[in-house]
Structure formats: C-alpha cells, structure tokens
Chains A and B, each alone.
Chain A
Amino acid sequence: MNFDFSDDQKQLRDQARKFLTEKCSPKAVRVVLDGKAPYDKELWKGLAEMGFLGVAIPEEFGGAGAGHLELCVIAEEMGRANAPVPFSSTVYLAAEALLIAGSDAQKKKWLPAIASGEAIGTLALFEGKGNPSPKAIKLTAANGVLNGVKKPVADGAIADFAVVAARTGSSGRDGDISLFLVDLKAGGVEVKSLTNLDPTRGQAEIAFTNCKAEPLGTAGEGWSILTQVLDRAAVLCAFEQVGGSDRALEMGRDYALDRIAFGRQIGSFQAVKHMLADMYVSATLARSNSYYGAWALSTNAAELPEAAAAARISATQAFQHCAKNNIQVHGGMGFTWEFDCHMYYRRANAMALGLGSLTYWEDQLIDRMRKKNAA
C-alpha cells in the first residue's frame, strides 16, 4: 500500500509552493482584495507558463497530461497561497465539464486556451437561493437560444466562456436539464459584478437574452454530467481548503509563539494550545479524507461520489474551523484589515458555499452511503 503522493508529486508541490510564495505574497493578494484589479493577471500568466493550468489536461489538447493527483497537489498550494485567480472556476469546473462531455471540436477550441491562460471559464449553475437541484434551474434553452438569469456565477465578470445549465424539458425530472457552452464575449449576455464575501474571487450575475449557445454533451444528460463535475470539483476544492487550513493553522501557531502576554508566550497557555491542537486535528482529518478523494478521482473509482462528498464536508469544516480560530488566536489584531487572517476567513466561508452548502453535501453523502450499503 502507498496511501501517499509520490516523490515526483511532492516535488511538484514544492515547486508550486516556491512559485506561489514568490509570486503570490499576501501583498499581491491585497491588490485584488482592495478592488484594484479583478484578478492577478501576472500570476495567471505565470501559472500558465509553469504548466499548472493544464496539468490535468491531456497533451493532445495542449495540457501537460500529468493527471489529477498532480492537480490535487497544485490545488493545495493555490489554497495555501489564497491565490486571487479564477483557478477553481476555470480548471475544476469548466475544464472538467469539457473533459467529461465536450466534443472533440469543443475540447480543441477551449482546452488549449485554458492551459495557455488565454481563456477563463466558469460554470453557470445557480439561480439565486438554494442548492444544486434540477428543479432550481429555470433558465430555458430552446433551438439553441438561452433565456434566463444565473447568479452567483464564480468569476463570471472575467470569464470568457461559461458552461450553462438550462432547462430543455418539462417532465420535472433530471432529464430536463442540458448543458450549453456560451462564449460570454458574444451577444445576448449581460454581466454584472456582485459584491461578495471574498473579493479575491469575484461573483457575478449573468443575464442571457436570446443568447446563442451550443450544446455540451447529450441533450437531457445535463444533470448527470453536472453531478460528475461537482464531485470532481469537490475533491479539488477540498485540496484548496486543506491548503488554506494548514496555512491558517501555521499563522495561528506562529503568532502564538511570537506574542507575549501576561509575561509569557500566549502559546504556553493551555487554552490556546488546545485550540491549536484541535485545528491540527480537523486539518488532519480533512487531509486524509481528501487523499482518499484524490485516489478515487485519479482512478475514476466507483467510490468517487461518496469519497468526494466526505472530502467536501471534512475540508469545508476544517477550513472554516482553522480560519475562525486563527483570528481568535490573534485576538484584536486578527480582526483588523491590516492582518491577513480575514483573507482566509473570507475564502473559507465563500468556499463553503461555492459548490452548494454543507447541507447539500451532507444529504449527498448519506444518500451515497445508503446506496453502497444496499448494494
């Protein structure tokens, strides 16, 4: 048994960490946080040059063809650095949807553009309140024309194209949903930026009015494709969340060693030590669940749906827990704009919602466990 990443994969992780430490300092993140740029274009270009954007994209479509374990280790570093780029929407959602359901022509058009950093993609799924569900999709597609409004759409304001979930039937079943590819720079698209919890990754409202779209995958199979995309993205996001958890824990630990109060390092107080120990515990459980998710993702195992839901829940909880208590360890300083703690707190809470809330994933996990037990 080797339930660990290989030496080559660990080397890639070190390489990504080195690159991001240099190119994605908290100061760089703040340029986007302060609203001075919609995302870090230089960093995005650099990620493309390093081959990180296309690491899991096959070579025939312009990627490195390395695989999903490699993407997982890079994702962890993106989370650790709190990178202000549309990595998750482009690489986990749009690229995965294309890999699962795209035609050869669609793959040829968009995947090399993703790998080279020329195209930013996203998934337009939500329509206001609520969790992923076929019933919640009201946007219609008829004769290749979309009408309706999506929000929130992650990185919608900077994306070049979107995978859009639309209603193509009226039976009230999963088969009513189909996916479409939309060039967001073409006509019939109106994009509005929305303020959101985590300005380092934007959110938008996109209105489609008689917007031309091409089908992605077979008509009526949209929901089944979406489920696969969300599961795969859940594992990849879990790695970002694990990276963020580790960084938040590290920040808290370092501060506890540095800060003196009542004549002692605050890290010598048992209440503080135990809070940090609990952060370590949740980060470790999340990491282990995510490793299992990575294995299932990389081998396309039958266990993927259950593993993805477990990784999602565990990593979401860990990141929220670590980000929240990192602020607590920092005391009053933790609550200031000047300290970096709030950037991870924002990211943790925004990421907790991006693929549907914990409630949704808890439901998914129990359904999937029941199915397995019944089988």
Chain B
Amino acid sequence: MNFDDTPQEAEFRATARAWIGANAPKQYEDDLRKSSLGRTVLKNGNILEVAKAWQKKKADAGWACLHWPKEYGGRGSSPIERVIWQQEEGPFGQLSRMFIIGHGMCGPTMMAFAREEHKRTYLPPLASGEKVWCQLFSEPAGGSDVAGLRTRAEKDGDDWIINGQKIWTSGAHYSDYGILLTRTDPTVPKHKGLTMFFLDMKSPGVEVRPIKQASGASDFNEVYFTNVRIPDHQRLGEVGDGWNVSLTTLMNERSAIGAAVSTGFPELFEYCSSLMLDDGPAIEDRAVRSKLANWAVKASGLKYTSMRAISALSKGERPGPENSIGKLVAGSMIQDVATYALDLQGASGVISGEDAELAGRFQAMLLRAPGTRVEGGTDEIMRNIIAERVLGLPGDIRVDKDVPFNKIPTKGRG
C-alpha cells in the first residue's frame, strides 16, 4: 500500500506538471480555486473565451482529451494518465466544465457509432474546444425515465423530420452540435422505438430557450424542434437501437472518475476556523466540532474511495457502478454544509450576494446544491444503481415494460 507513482507515471506527471506550469492561465487561478460548486466566476474574464483558449492551447500541445485516439484529437493515454493529468491540472480543470458533456458523452458515442468520415471531421474540433456539443436526452415527460421521451423523428426521403421538445439541456445556448435521442416508432415498447442522431444546433427549426434556475443562473435550456431536418447519414446506430446507443453515452457519463467531487467541507472548515461565536471561536464549540468531524470523515472517505478506484484503474480494472457513491454522498452533503454555514451566521445568513459574509459563497452554494442531487441521475437513481448492480437486488417493477409506447397512460407536460 503506497501513494507513489510507478516510474512511467512519475515521468508523465513531471512532463504534465512542467507544461501546465509554463502554460496555464495563472491570472485566473485564485478565482478558479474559489469557484468550488458548479459555477465558475471569473472577475476579469469571459469564462467561455478563457475556457476555449485554454482548451485550444492544450489541444495544440497534445494535452486535450487524453484518453481519445490521436487521430480524433486525443493523446491515446491510459486511464491512469488521465487521472494524473486531472490532479496536476488542479483548478484549471474547472475551465473544462463546459466541454464535459461533449468530451465525456458525445465524443465517445460518436466514436462508437458515427461513420469514419464524420469522426475525422467532427471529433478534432470537439477535442480542441473550438466546437461545443450538448446532449439532448431529457424531456418534460422523461427525466429519470429517459426512455419515456416523445420527440418524434419521421423518415422523409433521405432525411428525418424532428418535432418535439427537450429540457435540462446543459450548455445548449452555446453549443454547436448535439446528440439527439428520438422516438421513431411509438407502436412498440418504449425502449425499442428509439433512434439516435447528431445534428447541427444551428439547423433551421431549432430553438433554444435558457431556463432560469433557482440560483438565478441559467446553465441549461429548453430546446424546441419544429420540422428540423437531419440527414440519415447523421444517424448513430440502427433505427430502433437508440436505447443501446444511449446506454453507451450514459455509461461514459458515470465512468468519469478521478475528478474531485465538491463537498463544501474545506470551505466550511476554513470558515469555522476563523469564525467567532458569542462564546468564543466556532472551532472550539462542542456542537460545531461534532458536525465538522462527521463531515470530515465523509469527505476523506470519498477522497480515499476515489484513490482506491484510481489504483484499480492503474492495474487495468474498469471503473464499476460503485463509483456512483461520489455524487450521491457529495450532493446531499454540500446542501447540508451550506445550510449549516448559514445557520452559524444567524439571522444575517439570509443576506446573499456581495453584501453577505464571504461574498455570499455559502448562500450561492445553498441555491445551487439541489441541482447536484438531480443532474446526471437523481439520488434515488444512484441508490437504485448501487442496490441493483453492486448488491444484486431485483430491478424496480416496470409496469410499462412490454406495453407499446402509445398505449402507456400519460399525464403531465409534453
């Protein structure tokens, strides 16, 4: 049991560190360190431009999408090298957030299902951040129940005509392309009538409307399709096989390990170390210490769980469903941590924004935290994954399993 790199890993780390040291946009380092929860705020820079510039610089030097094949804009690195890169990139890795969906899900899906000419055309500019991609899966009628979607694709000569609506589409407002899951046959059970495509987000008939979140920010969107044409050669996988194609996408979503998950704990510990309560320093208060200790062991437990996963990766093992615990634990923890930090502020905890303690850092955390527990699979879906795939418990009973999609009772929007 040790924390040392192998000689090759050490060499890779040294090369990566040197390059990052010489090239990273250090003027933003402080801002990036303080942006710990999903929302990156740069005081003196446009986040989209800064992120794209950093990604392009990495791509030109061969540091973009490390695990992708070289011919598609990657480096052909091992999974462990990817983890080492993430560790060395540190806060600058946050700049890649707007590319996460493209790099983590769209790219791998294209690699598995697109024509060779499309891969060579579309993947390198995706790797270099010149083009941004989004994933058009969720709908008002199908969030966790992805296969319940209703956006229709109908064949018209060599094209498909798309009509319908997607929702919760991260980054659609600045995306150039998207992968789109549609229903091509409503007369068969829901998982069997789906087909996947990719499309240009500037296609006529695509309308993107940002959704204003509880936090006030707008990170995701509703996307409407009105008679949008997609050529058949942009289909990914067979007609009716969209569910299997989407599983490839979702599996890639969950295998992105090694990146540190935000728990809010370092921020809370730092805050309590300096905060004075009526009876003295917060860190000396019995109740505060107990709370901190309980969160400390969750945060360290997550850290060392991820180290165990990295060790397994370095031995060539594949990341398994047990990696679902990171987001599950961190999601509700960050919400509880933010709630507690405000409780310590008493009545003044209600003030948010620049006028608040620490420029409203914990208030912003509180308003963003509910999203962490929902996006990329709700807490409930994560628990189902652990129960079914790790512990081997039976799947949920699905009353719509063998029923043709157009015979399933519906209620609600869409």
CB <8 Å contact, B300 and A292: yes
CB <8 Å contact, A284 and B305: yes
Q: Chain A residues near B19 (CB, 8 Å)? A: none
Contact pick for B310, options A1, A5, A298, A370, CB 8 Å: A1
Query: How far is A1 from B10 in the complex, measured between Cα atoms in Å?
Result: 10
CB <8 Å contact, A270 and B292: no
Binds A, one of B35-43, B366-374, B389-397: B389-397
**B2 at the A/B interface (Cβ < 8 Å)?**
yes
CB <8 Å contact, B387 and A273: yes
CB <8 Å contact, A4 and B312: yes
Name which residue of chain B comes closest to A309, CB basis.
B293
CB <8 Å contact, B393 and A257: yes
Question: What is the CB-to-nearest-CB distance from A142 to chain B, in angstroms, rounded to a whole number?
Answer: 36
Contact pick for A288, options B269, B289, B307, B328, CB 8 Å: B307
CB <8 Å contact, A285 and B297: yes
**A268 at the A/B interface (Cβ < 8 Å)?**
yes
Contact pick for B383, options A265, A278, A365, CB 8 Å: A278
Question: Counting chain A CB atoms within 10 Å of each CB, which of B302, B303, B307, B396 scores highest?
Answer: B307
Q: Chain A residues near B307 (CB, 8 Å)? A: 1, 3, 288
Question: How many residues on A have C-beta within 8 angstroms of the other chain's C-beta atoms?
Answer: 48
Q: Mask for B41-68, Cβ within 8 A of A = 1, else 0?
A: 0000000000000000000000000000
Q: Mask for A353-369, Cβ within 8 A of B = 1, else 0?
A: 00000010111011001
Question: What is the CB-to-nearest-CB distance from A21 to chain B, in angstroms, rounded to a whole number?
Answer: 20
**B17 at the A/B interface (Cβ < 8 Å)?**
no
Q: A281-B386, A366-B289 are in contact. Are A276 and B393 (CB under 8 A)?
A: yes
Q: Chain A residues near B305 (CB, 8 Å)? A: 284-285, 288
Q: A1-B4, A277-B383 are in contact. Are A268 and B393 (CB under 8 A)?
A: yes
Query: How far is A110 from B218 in the complex, measured between Cα atoms in Å?
Result: 69
Query: How far is A294 from B307 in the complex, measured between Cα atoms in Å?
Result: 14
Q: Chain A residues near B314 (CB, 8 Å)? A: 1-2
The secondary-structure label for the interface of chain A is helix
Q: Which residues of B (292-309) have their CB < 8 Å from a CB of A?
A: 292-294, 296-298, 300-305, 307-308
**B5 at the A/B interface (Cβ < 8 Å)?**
yes
Question: What is the CB-to-nearest-CB distance from B82 to chain A, in angstroms, rounded to a whole number?
Answer: 14
Question: What is the CB-to-nearest-CB distance from B322 to chain A, in angstroms, rounded to a whole number?
Answer: 7
Q: A1-B3, A1-B307, A253-B392 are in contact. Are A366 and B293 (CB under 8 A)?
A: yes
CB <8 Å contact, A295 and B1: yes
CB <8 Å contact, B301 and A284: yes
Query: How far is A59 from B330 in the complex, measured between Cα atoms in Å?
Result: 45
Q: Which residues of A approach B to under 8 Å, CB–CB?
A: 1-6, 69, 249, 253, 256-257, 264-265, 267-268, 270, 272-274, 276-278, 280-281, 284-286, 288-289, 291-292, 294-295, 298, 309-310, 313-314, 317, 359, 361-363, 365-366, 369-370, 373
Q: List 9 A-B contacts (CB under 8 A).
A: A5-B1, A267-B387, A267-B393, A272-B393, A277-B384, A285-B298, A365-B297, A366-B283, A366-B292
Nearest 8 interchain pairs by C-beta: A285-B301, A362-B293, A288-B304, A273-B387, A268-B394, A277-B383, A277-B386, A314-B297
